Copies of this chain bind each other. A is one copy, B any other.
Amino acid sequence: MKFSGAITLLLAISSTTSAFTLNNPHRPTSFVTSNRSTIQQPQQALSTTTRTSRTSHLSMSSDTATSSPPISVGVVGATGAVGVEIVNCLNKFSSLNVSQLRIFGSKRSAGTTRDTGKFGDVEVELFGVEAARECDVVFLAVSGDFSLEHAKAISEGDDGAVVIDNSSAFRYDKDIPLVVPEINGECSKGNKLIANPNCTTAIGLMALWPLHKLFKLKKVAMSTYQAASGAGQPGMDELKEGTRAVIAGERDVAENSIFAHPLPFNVIPQIDKFMENGYTKEEMKVTWEARKICGLPDDFPVSCTAVRIPTFRAHAETIVIETEEPVDIEAARKAFEEAPGIKLVDNTAELEYPMPLTATGQYDVEVGRLRKSLVFGDNGMEFFVVGDQLLRGAALNAVLVAETMVENGSLGAK
C-alpha cells in the first residue's frame, strides 16, 4: 500500500487515516483488492475541490502498481464532471502505472493546458481516432453519439486502444461487456471495448450483488434520490445558483434550463426521456443493466422510480427485494462488511446510516437501514444505499475496469 503523493490544484491528499480500514481487517485482498479508504467527517458537496481534497486513498496494490507495465492513458472529455474524476482517480489511488496521460478535446479546447496532478501540465490534443489509437487505454467521458461514432474505430484491431466508454452507447449490445468489476470483472477479459454502467445501476448493484450471492434475488424494486451531478457540472451549477436566488429572495421559483423543472427545494420524478411503458429511460437502464451485469434472465423483475432531488452529489436509493432463500440479516451484514467497495453504515442506535453528506467523495458505496421486509416477510429485505455518482457511478468504476483488465492480461503496453 502507498499513499499517492500528488498535491495539485485538482486534489490534495489529506492525512486522515482510514478508520474504516482499521475497523475492517478482514476485507478480502483478492480480485478488486483495494481497501479504498473512507473518512469519518461529513463533507459538503459544493465544490469539487472540497469534495475530494479531504479524502486519502490507499493504492489498490503496491505490488501491482510497481510491477504492472507502464501504459499510456487517454481521456476524452477530461474537463467534464466525470472526466475530472477519472484524472483524480488516476492520481489518487489507482494502481495503473501511467507512463503518459493524454487528454483529447475539441477544436475549442485543443492547445490549452490542463493541470493533471502528478502527471503534470498536459496540453489538450485535438481528438483524432489515430492519435487515440496510440494510447493503451482510452476513457471516453463524452456523449453517446460521440462514442457511437468513434469507439469502435479507436479500439478495433490488435493495435487499437482498449476503450472504456462511460456513455450508454454500447451498454445493451450483447457483444460488448457491461462491467462492474466487483461483479463481472471477468467479462472484460480479452475485450477491447467495455461499457461502463449507468450510475444508478452501478451504485445499487454494489449492494445487490452480495445479497444475490447469499439469498438469490427474485424481485427488485428501487426508488432513487438522485443528485444534480447526474446532469454534470451544469446541473450542479443550476442547483447552486437557483438555490441562492430563492434564498436571497430574488425569485420565488428558481430558473431552469438543465432540468425539466426548477430543482431547488423541489423533487422531479423524471430523469431521461419517457418510454412507451411509462417508465423513463433512466429507470429502464436500471432494469436492463441489472439483468446484464448480474447474468439474470431477460425478464427478471427489476423496477425503478428515478427521482431528481436537490442534492449536489451522491445518489441515494431505497431498495426492496424478494429473495428465493430466507433472509438472514446478520449474514447480510457480514457480507457487506467483507465486500470490496462497500461500507456498511448501519448503526441505528447511533443514528448512523448512509447519507449523501458522508458518501460524497468516497470510493465505497454506503449501505445501511438493513431490515427484513414487511412486504415479503422472511424472503425479503429492505435497505438504503448511497454512492458517489461521479465515482462508483462513473469514474471510479471505469478506472477499476482498467485495473481489472491489467490484472487479467487484457490491458498492457503495446
Interface set of A (CB-CB < 8 Å, partner B):
42-46, 50, 219-221, 223, 225, 240, 243-244, 246-247, 251-253, 260-262, 265-270, 274, 277-279, 287, 301-303, 305, 307, 309-312, 316, 318, 320, 329, 348-349, 351, 353-357, 368-377, 382, 384, 386
Contact B247 A307 (CB under 8 A): no
The distance in angstroms between the C-alpha atoms of A320 and B303, with both chains bound, is: 9
Contact in complex: A302, B374 (CB < 8 Å):
yes
Give the chain B neighbours of A50 by CB distance below 8 A. 252
Can you give 12 contacting A-B residue pairs, CB < 8 Å? Answer: A44-B246, A46-B265, A261-B351, A266-B357, A267-B309, A267-B316, A270-B351, A277-B372, A278-B329, A279-B374, A303-B374, A305-B384
A305: which of B246, B277, B311, B318 is its contact (CB, 8 Å)?
B318
Across the interface, which residues of B come within 8 angstroms of A303, CB to CB? 320, 373-375, 382
Q: Are A312 and B375 in contact (CB under 8 A)?
A: no
Q: When the two chains form their complex, are residues B261 and A355 in contact, meaning their CB atoms are under 8 A apart?
A: yes
Chain B nearest CB from A269 CB (Å) reads 5
Task: Give the residue name and chain of the B residue nearest to A370 (CB).
Answer: B278
| Chain B residues whose C-beta falls within 8 Å of the C-beta of A43 in the assembled complex | 252-253
Q: Which residues of B contact A369 (CB under 8 A)?
A: 269, 278, 305
The 3 closest A-B pairs by CB, nearest first: A278-B371, A223-B223, A303-B374
Quote the shortest CB–CB distance from A347 to chain B (angstroms): 10
Q: In chain B, what residue has the closest Cβ to A305?
A: B318
Inter-chain pairs besides A278-B348, A302-B374, 20 sampled, C-beta below 8 Å = A42-B262, A44-B251, A44-B252, A220-B375, A223-B223, A253-B357, A265-B310, A266-B356, A266-B357, A269-B353, A269-B354, A269-B384, A270-B348, A278-B372, A301-B374, A303-B373, A303-B375, A303-B382, A309-B309, A310-B310
Identify which of B246, B253, B307, B368 contacts A318 (C-beta below 8 A).
B307
Known: A50-B252, A277-B372. A386 touches B267 (CB 8 A): yes
Number of copies: 2
Min C-beta distance of A218 to chain B, whole Å: 10
Find out whether the CB atom of A246 lies under 8 angstroms from the CB atom of B372: no
- Who on chain B is nearest to A287 by CB? B374
* A113: min CB distance to chain B, Å: 28
Name the B residues within 8 Å of A243 (CB-CB). Answer: 243, 247
Contact B267 A375 (CB under 8 A): no
Distance from A267 Cβ to chain B, minimum over Cβ atoms (Å): 5
| CA gap between A42 and B369 in the complex, in Å | 34
Q: How far is the CB of A150 from chain B (nearest CB, A)?
A: 32
> Could you tell me if A265 and B302 are in contact, using CB atoms closer than 8 angstroms?
no
Q: Are B269 and A371 in touch, CB under 8 angstroms?
A: no
Tell me, rounded to whole Å, the shortest Cβ–Cβ distance linking A248 to chain B: 8
Contact residue among B240, B302, B320, B371 (Cβ-Cβ distance under 8 Å from A247)? B240
The one of B253, B270, B307, B368 in contact with A44, judged by C-beta atoms closer than 8 angstroms, is B253
Tell me which residues across on chain B come within 8 A of A46, comparing CB atoms: 246, 252, 265
Contacts of A261 in B (CB 8 A): 42, 351, 355, 357
B265, A356: Cβ atoms under 8 Å? yes
